Structure 1
């Protein structure tokens, strides 16, 4: 964890043709991909490589639950910003509030609970201590 930690993160991404339906509107399930990318890049910025975590610590992250609201459509070529923040940290879980915006306009918002699991058994397992310490510190900001 060598990068300075922050309690929020933002990822900018472009909507491509593959993200849309025949009408050029983002397919609803693709927002979940956008949110996943934002969480992954945030962890990467904190110095967490999920591939290494799986090999070294035998830990994986899986989505346990989510609650999404779709408010406005995003369209082909839109530039979106995905905002993320941690709302709760458990020993084996991280709860995120995430939202997708276009020019400051809220398009979709979700609450996602990610669970840390053992790579072999896929049963809940504690977050590695250095990661938990880093996340705990930024949730107290």
Structure 2
């Protein structure tokens, strides 16, 4: 199921040419991932406090297709591609209406308190199955 999150382009998001600065797309998709996790019922703050587990971006493969501009209303789409014991792979896109502006495949790793890979908690795996 595709999760959708709306984001508005503010002046601070743009560069001298008046288009969204390339690194800000990574911020937009981070917000989309955070809201996706929240929507499936996982409290990341509580997860860290109780288990020490956090999610870290392991890999991003991105394509910039078309520029976004000041005041555009964008949609960040997030789809789960695959989940393993300690990783998630997500497809994410940023759209303006029906036009795809940016695409990325993001690999997240679950890390324990010592910074080493950790198994995804059972609660989270159940949320993925039902969400």
TM-score, normalisation: structure 1: 0.89
Q: CA deviation at 1:126?
A: 0.5
- The partner residue of 1:47 within 35, 41, 46 is 41
Q: CA deviation at 1:51?
A: 1.1
C-alpha distance in 2, partners of 1:8/1:56?
Answer: 29
| Correspondence 1:114 to 2:94 | no
| Correspondence 1:89 to 2:83 | yes
Q: Which runs of 5+ in 1 are unaligned?
A: 1-6
2:59, 2:108 within 8 Å by CA — same for their partners in 1?
yes
Runs of 4+ in 1 over 3 A off after TM superposition: none
**1:21-100 paired onto structure 2 within 5 Å:** 21-100=15-94
TM-score, normalisation: structure 2: 0.96
Q: CA deviation at 1:101?
A: 0.4
SS at match of 1:33: helix
Q: Which runs of 5+ in 2 are unaligned?
A: none
Figure out how many residues of one structure are paired with residues of the other and give that number: 131
Superposed CA RMSD: 1.0
- The partner residue of 2:118 within 125, 137, 140 is 125
C-alpha distance in 1, partners of 2:12/2:45?
Answer: 26
SS at match of 2:115: coil
Q: CA deviation at 1:16?
A: 0.7
